[in-house]
Homo-oligomer: A and B are copies of this chain.
Amino acid sequence: MIERLAVIGVGLIGGSLARALKSAETVGEVIGCGRSRENLELALELGVIDGFSCDPAEAVRDADMVFIAVPLGAIARVFERIRGQLSEAAVVTDGGSVKGSVVADAKRVFGEIPPWLVPGHPIAGTEHNGVASSFPELYRHRRVILTPLAQTDADARARVRAMWEQTGAEVTEMSVAHHDEVLAATSHLPHMLAFGLVDALSRMRSNDEIFRYAAGGFRDFTRIASSSPEMWRDICLANADALSTMLARFGAEMGKLSETIRREDGETLLRIFERARAARDRYVDGVGAEGDGSSRADKTPD
């Protein structure tokens, strides 16, 4: 049971955690915090939070759990504002999509990794942002990755794990570096391709005609290109090394695939497509399927 939860950044991720814990009845009071009053008032109206402050220092007062869910570029400033303001019992965790940058920010602001900080990342989300898009089931059957450090307090870790389990999520742990590599591959790279593709097409001569003939596959493929530009800029900057390496490698592979097509090497093409289909069918729609989908709609064959 959390008595007082402070949510810094009451958007899709922060709002959904608050809603999930409220509907599980495992939280007493939720205090929101953000930049704009309007958003916090909306969150209050929606029943996502019970009170708010625009000052993180005030919001965390007497909180036993603090969840930071602002864009990655804003996390250091939140750390600065809450330094020295936390109660004795407080545990702090976050939902940032990259963990290396959060840990580096913490080290810089606090001088060392605080034992009460448990970096985390829910592998769940949508291309819609804002508290109005938040919903209590967002984390159900999804994975949440925690990346505790050697310094992390065992009790803090257990409390953060318990909180996520109350939302219906499955909690796993891994190292910070491993998290950032895995996510570069499965999330950050695909987002770059989707943003890059839509941007490339929008710069083509007859781009309105081009989009007119885009079919359903295209719509699914590019859905993630409707995600928040600021959030993704921050993710790129926070995971620049792993992501730029992976993207450069992928760009070169596409150059090679282009050559394979140009020399009309049907056998190699078939092998690549077969390997890809088998992998996707096995991992994405097979083992990993339940609970890994972000869609609330039950997907029929399309």
Using a CB–CB cutoff of 8 Å, the interface residues on chain A facing chain B are: 123-128, 133, 142-143, 145, 182-183, 185-187, 189-202, 204, 206-227, 229-230, 232-233, 236-237, 240-241, 243-245, 247-255, 257-259, 261-262, 264, 266, 269-270, 272-277, 279-281, 283-285, 287-289, 292-302
Contact = CB atoms under 8 A, between A and B. Distances in A.
Contact of A210 (B185, B204, B277, B280): B185
A133 B200 contact: no
Nearest to A192: B257
Contact of A126 (B232, B264, B269, B302): B302
18 contacts: A123-B215, A186-B218, A187-B218, A190-B217, A193-B254, A194-B221, A208-B283, A212-B287, A212-B288, A216-B294, A219-B289, A229-B274, A233-B269, A237-B264, A237-B266, A243-B258, A251-B254, A297-B300
Contacts of A283: 202, 208, 211-212, 214
A279 B198 contact: yes
Report copies per complex: 2
